[in-house]
Structure 1
Amino acid sequence: MLRFLAPLLALLLCLPAHADSYITRLLDKPVPGGVAVVDLGNGAQAPTARYQGRSVLVVKEQNSRWLAIVGVPLTVKPGTQQLAIKDASGNRTQAFTVGSKKYPEQRITLKNKRQVNPDPADLKRIEGELAEQIAAYRTFTPATPSNLLLDKPVNGPLSSKFGVRRFFNGEERNPHAGLDFAVPAGTPIKSPAAGKVILTGNYFFNGNTVFVDHGQGFISMFCHMSKIDVKVGDAVPRGGVVGKVGATGRATGPHMHWNISLNDARVDPAIFIGAFQP
């Protein structure tokens, strides 16, 4: 028995200290539209990290190592990426690798043709609404998120996955940037982590929408809601109700759409609820 244990012990000693990191096991899905967990070391002070010019969420796990939780945009090609790090030793870069992932296609027929090809007045409205939402996604506050393993905002089956290439009335549009849950209209939508409401509105495509900042660029967005139950500036506890499911905006029926954004990159919410599929 000992001759088998000795090689195993040697292997374990050779593994990096963060190999069994809970956060790494949970969140490290470094593909386009995924999350890369990058070990930043165990300095006494928190380092800062930036990716593609955006500040990145940094947390300390088990009073040990600092980890960067990096959102990888869907547009990133597989290969080596770079983080810009600033810590007590100065400025440096750190590489991480993005793998590949193929996303499926979805074809949707809409009766309202303006939801596929908006008229000039619609386009002007959409432009202003997009600017508001981009500004919300780029919010970065210093608070550490209350939890990284998130609760589902509603209990129900998934009806559309993240990253799906979408064709509306035969015309390709942006990939699906969140998860859809098939639940009835009026179902309460609960915040998956504590946070602060930073934007609400009724938008052309998204309908009734709420943005919740969980801290350090970690943002939840809920849309197509029938009712909004919060206002900008509200502090929302984990599990606090932000509104109710509906079918407003570009929607074919009642459902709950949930986006997660990290460092202004929309990433697969399934990663944070233990439902990611490679």
Structure 2
Amino acid sequence: MKKLVITLVCLVLVIVVGGAAVVWFTYDSVDESSVPTVQVEAAGQTLQPNAWEWSQPVLGGMLYKHFANDSTEAAQLGEYETGGFAVTFPQGYDTTITLRRDDAVVFDGRPAEWQDALTAEPGAYSLQVLSHRAEEKGRPYGEFMFEALFTVLPPPKPEPVFTAGKTELEQGDIFVMRLENIPEGVRPVTTTELGMGSFTPAGEGAWFAAVPVGNHRQPGAYTVDVTAGEDSWQATVTVSAYAYPEQNLVIDTSSEQITEANSAAAYQQYREKIPPLWETADGERYWEGAFIRPAEGGWISTEFGTIRYTNGDYSNSRSHYGMDIAVAEGTPVVAPNNGRVVLAEYLLNTGNTIVIEHGGGLKSYYYHLSALDVELGDMVEKGQLIGAVGSTGYSTGAHLHYEMRIGDQAVSPSMLFEDSAGLYSVEALAGDEAGDEAA
């Protein structure tokens, strides 16, 4: 009996040891090769898990063998000129995604809700993906963590563009320029002996400037230099002569009105009121489209640039810096374009006088009016009533003296009635280019 017991004990020990050996062998044979390969595809690159843990069943789930990998640094995907790229997530797992741009969460959800456009905006991104399989008896389970860093660069800034209008101009015309794609905070500057060329904003990153070709400008070639930050350009303007007529003005110098208008006090007042305006320029462009005639009817009694003499005294000639429109007293005078009234008062020499700033130093002047219908500081629109024709100041009869200047340089008012004027040429070029593209 004792021998039988010993035999049974030995048999049990053999079975136990053998079973344990089988279990140990089976457990030991399970290694990391049993851990599935789980990947994320982002921006054409394959991401491996930064950290993971996995439990693999042994002997049908009687035991589990656990594997883990400590967290490593996030994958550096680099810089991209354009975002909006596709991301592919693991299948067969419960996956959650967190996307941050510049440390702010822009998405926190699941693959079904993901949109590639989430990465379209420029910025520094962090993409975190957690793919999880829940514990279920007899089945492997675990989770995989992915993290990737990447940057979507802002679109490259377009190169600044300089466009010049007509460069072959007659005396009295205007040279214009347009700049585009100028960085924010940069204001262009013009340098030229032609005269003032003050840039005004013309849209986002765009600027416009008008430079006078005065009636006294000598024919020849002139350079116009433009600087905007680190960029610079140069244009050459060729000026040709304009044949100005001559006129002998007959005036009764004994008239009290003429005597007062021609006095030293009158000229001193004029110098105090008008030339200071030549130095000013509003930083905004008000005018839109072609200038219109400020007074209807009548006829041009004196053209712009006319060489004038008084009472046959040819030794004392002078230029007429505006155009005279001979028309009945009281005829309405309207603003030829949008602008801001910078002077509206009676002056001894020019009578009732209005000056309108149209932007960038381009101003219109109205002399000898019988009435003033605007005040200093008023904003006026093209076609708005501003006064009435008269014969106040140094005047021989009812007419409107209409003058245009940029800075101290007089330009031809009549040219601005035509769409072909230099003032409109750079925008005409832009229109032609748009038409070419449409065609």
In the alignment, what sits opposite 1:259?
403
In the alignment, what sits opposite 1:99?
240
Match for residue 248 of structure 1 among 354, 370, 392 = 392
In the alignment, what sits opposite 1:201?
345
| Runs of 4+ more than 6 Å apart | 59-65
TM-aligned CA distance change 1:118 to 1:129, over 3 Å: same
Question: 2:364 and 2:388 mapped to 1: Cα distance?
Answer: 15
**Partner deviation per Cα, 1:199-220 (whole Å, 9 max, x = no partner):** 1232233111100111110101
In the alignment, what sits opposite 2:188?
47
In the alignment, what sits opposite 2:69?
none
Residue 311 of structure 2 aligns to which amino acid in structure 1? N
Question: Per-residue deviation at 1:71?
Answer: 0.8
Match for residue 75 of structure 1 among 206, 209, 216 = 216
Max Rg structure = 2
* Conservation of the 8 A alpha-carbon contact between 1:185 and 1:254: yes
* Conservation of the 8 A alpha-carbon contact between 1:70 and 1:263: no
* Conservation of the 8 A alpha-carbon contact between 1:48 and 1:86: yes
Match for residue 36 of structure 1 among 162, 175, 178 = 175
In the alignment, what sits opposite 2:279?
138
Q: What secondary structure is seen at the aligned counterpart in 2 of 1:83?
A: strand
Match for residue 170 of structure 1 among 312, 318, 321 = 312
**Partner deviation per Cα, 1:70-107 (whole Å, 9 max, x = no partner):** 11122221111122312133455433211111211011
In the alignment, what sits opposite 1:4?
none
In the alignment, what sits opposite 2:154?
none
Q: Highest relative contact order (Cα 8 Å, sep 6+), 1 or 2? A: 1
In the alignment, what sits opposite 1:160?
302
In the alignment, what sits opposite 1:215?
359
* Unaligned residue ranges in structure 1 (runs of 5+): 1-16
Residue 368 of structure 2 aligns to which amino acid in structure 1? H
**TM superposition score normalised by structure 2:** 0.51
Question: Per-residue deviation at 1:133?
Answer: 0.2
TM-aligned CA distance change 1:109 to 1:238, over 3 Å: same
Question: 1:44 and 1:202 mapped to 2: Cα distance?
Answer: 43
Residue 164 of structure 1 aligns to which amino acid in structure 2? T
Q: What secondary structure is seen at the aligned counterpart in 2 of 1:153?
A: coil
Q: What secondary structure is seen at the aligned counterpart in 1 of 2:291?
A: coil
Question: Per-residue deviation at 1:266?
Answer: 0.8
Question: 2:366 and 2:323 mapped to 1: Cα distance?
Answer: 10
Please, which moves more after superposition, 64-73 or 169-178?
64-73
TM-aligned CA distance change 1:82 to 1:232, over 3 Å: same
TM-aligned CA distance change 1:245 to 1:192, over 3 Å: same
Residue 49 of structure 1 aligns to which amino acid in structure 2? T
Question: 2:190 and 2:389 mapped to 1: Cα distance?
Answer: 36
* Unaligned residue ranges in structure 2 (runs of 5+): 1-161, 422-439
TM-aligned CA distance change 1:183 to 1:74, over 3 Å: same
Query: Does 1:189 find its partner at 2:189?
Result: no
TM-aligned CA distance change 1:62 to 1:235, over 3 Å: closer
Question: Per-residue deviation at 1:152?
Answer: 0.9
Question: Per-residue deviation at 1:148?
Answer: 4.4
Question: Per-residue deviation at 1:138?
Answer: 2.4
Identity of paired residues, percent? 25
Question: 1:72 and 1:182 mapped to 2: Cα distance?
Answer: 26
Please, which moves more after superposition, 212-221 or 78-87?
78-87
Q: CA RMSD in A?
A: 3.3
